[in-house]
Amino acid sequence: MKLPAEFLDKMRRLLGDKEYGEFIKSYDIPRYYGLRVNTLKTSVEEFLRISPFELEKIPWVEDGFYYKEGESPGKHPYYHAGLYYIQEPSAMFPAAVLDAKPGEHVLDLCAAPGGKSVQIAASMKGKGILVANDINSDRVKALVKNLELCGARNAIVTNEPPDRLAVNFAGYFDRILVDAPCSGEGMFRKDEDAVRSWQKFKCDTCAAMQREILKSVDRMLRPGGYMVYSTCTFSPEENEQAISDFLAWNNGNYEIMEIPKLNGIEGGKPEWSDGNPELTKTARLWPHKVKGEGHFVALLRKKNGHNCSDNASGSQIKDEEYKKGKKNSGSIADESQRKAFNVFVNENLNLSIDGFFIQKGNNLYCLPEEPPDLNGIKVAKFGWYLGEFARGIFEPSHSLAVSLKKGDIKNTVDFSPESREIIGYLRGETVMVGGKKGLTAVCVNGYTLGWAKQMGNMLKNLYPKGWRRMS
């Protein structure tokens, strides 16, 4: 791999000749591949029992595993069932440090394509509010898809710059993850495009942008709340120096929290910044010291009190309570739509759907509690997308199917991962099989993949066109 001479000179100055030699040798080692088990859909123990891959534990996350180069987990039906998310091993560390809890209000500020958002959602176990934001409207599409695929029910997806979000979310969040846009030096081994991007977006440009982002983050984090700042670069200007500058701006209103160091993870380098010894509490993942790519992670706690935000869930919306939300949660369904939704639930599901209902146009969403004020915010996903009203009936979404367990649905059909029926279904083909007439959930080894409609001896395929396998 040809690395920029300017980058190499800088790393030699930072590391010294001996460690620089070890660092450069890491670029001759093949990259590492990882997946994280999605505990919203299955347990780690159960996935290990059914996994077709040769896996090795990633030491810094409970649900992360290395898989061998040459394997293709993205093509396996289990991927389409949302049982795991494919993610670079070091990239799993920031959300693990954030340690989101059920019932909290959490922001993933620079979230696309969604790997860290999915990880946060699993930690929250469907309770509380997760806001996943990205400024890039094209990347937001992937973010929405990944959250839906993995069955996240408490996620709102927004498409705004941080300073615009701060207008609505002042003091709202218990935890915020800032996986900041950066010069990407830590990804050079993984992605040669990162080398080309580095020529355009060097550390000084990125550092200025990161500092503006952090100013907005402070406005949104409640007193006593936690912020994780992370990058995938080695540059001190974007790492230790960014944290030092942030602490100075806030006049001691933040404290750096210790991140446990294990399995080759090292502390930050105070000597690369202002010499503040507290910077050793931050973490650096080096490609010559861990089985992963380069990352920097800092955990900060906001002072000025220890009050907890009100994490009580919103009232459970039953039929008689089906009403408009107080904070721009959208017009409520009329009586006929309410009845259509109840008919669908009674005919097709073995459970009731409770929560705070939100209607946007003909689309129906649900959240575990009342949503925040979204007035003036560009929203791509208002929560758990249940489906839409059309021609006097309720039509369930694909998101609803993959978020439910097999036992939640009355009419199901189950195939093995290797079956031609599953491969055909994922390609959008009609599946020739008999069964009970009506809406049916297609499952792989007991895990839902999507809807189909049983018609005689065939299943009419309802798998979304944009999700289908091409090979």
* Residue 195 banded pLDDT, cuts 50, 70, 90: confident
Domain's final residue, options 277, 302, 327: 302
pLDDT tens for 225-249 read: 999 999 999 999 999 999 999 999 9
Whether the CB-CB separation of 279 and 273 falls below 8 Å is answered with yes
Give yes or no for a contact between 164 and 188, defined as CB atoms under 8 angstroms apart: no
User: Is residue 233 domain-shared with residue 360, that is, in the same domain?
Assistant: no
Residue 190 confidence (pLDDT): 85
The residues near 417 (Cβ < 8 Å, ≥ 6 apart) are: 52, 76, 77, 78, 444, 445
pLDDT at 192: 77
Kindly report, residue by residue over 368-403, the tens digit of the pLDDT.
999 999 999 999 999 999 999 999 899 999 999 999
| 308, part of any domain | no
Residues 194 and 60 grouped into a single domain: yes
**What is the domain extent for residue 460?**
405-467
Do 135 and 9 lie in one domain? The reply is yes
Report pLDDT for 1: 73
The fraction of the chain above a pLDDT of 70, given in percent, is 93
DSSP letters spanning 53-78: S-EEE-TT-TTEEEE-TT--GGGSHH
Q: What is the CATH number of the domain that holds 461?
A: 2.30.130.60
Last residue of a domain, one of 380, 402, 424: 402
**Residue 291, pLDDT above cutoff 90:** yes
What is the CATH classification number for the domain harbouring 208? 3.40.50.150
Looking at residue 335, what is its pLDDT? Answer: 82
- Predicted local distance difference test score (pLDDT) of residue 194: 79
Pair 398, 409 in one domain:
no
pLDDT tens-digit map of 158-187: 999 999 999 999 999 999 999 999 989 999
pLDDT of residue 307: 35
Would you name the residues annotated as active-site residues?
Answer: 232
Residue 47 above 50 pLDDT?
yes
* Strand order from edge to edge, sheet including 363-367: 356-360, 363-367, 384-390, 393-396
294 pLDDT above the threshold of 80: yes
Considering the domain architecture, whether residues 412 and 347 belong to the same structural domain is answered as no
pLDDT (0 to 100) of residue 324: 34
Q: Are residues 68 and 211 in the same domain?
A: yes
In a domain, 152, yes or no: yes
Q: What letter would DSSP give residue 349? A: B
Side-chain-side CA neighbours of 426 within 13 Å: the count stands at 23
Q: Same domain, yes or no, for 22 and 33?
A: yes
> What local confidence, expressed as pLDDT, does residue 306 receive?
40
Over residues 314-362, the pLDDT tens digits come to: 322 233 333 333 333 444 457 888 899 999 999 999 999 999 999 998 9
- pLDDT level of residue 201 (50, 70, 90 thresholds): low
Looking at the structure, do residues 280 and 420 belong to the same domain, yes or no?
A: no
Strands 105-108 and 55-57: unpaired
- Residues 295 and 370 grouped into a single domain: no
Q: Give the rounded percent of residues in the chain with a pLDDT score beyond 90.
A: 84
Tokens of 111: 């979230």
Task: Give the model's pLDDT for residue 330.
Answer: 41
Calpha distance 358→364 (Å, rounded): 6
Residues 337, 137: contact at Cβ < 8 Å?
no
* Same domain? 357 vs 451: no
Residue at which a domain ends, from 372, 402, 432? 402
Q: How confident is the model at residue 197 (pLDDT cuts 50, 70, 90)?
A: confident
Is 424 in the same domain as 394? no
Number of domains in the chain: 3
What is the average per-residue pLDDT within 293-310?
A: 77
Average pLDDT over residues 204-226: 92
User: What is the reported pLDDT for 329?
Assistant: 41
- Tens-place pLDDT, residues 88-130: 999 999 999 999 999 999 999 999 999 999 999 999 999 999 9
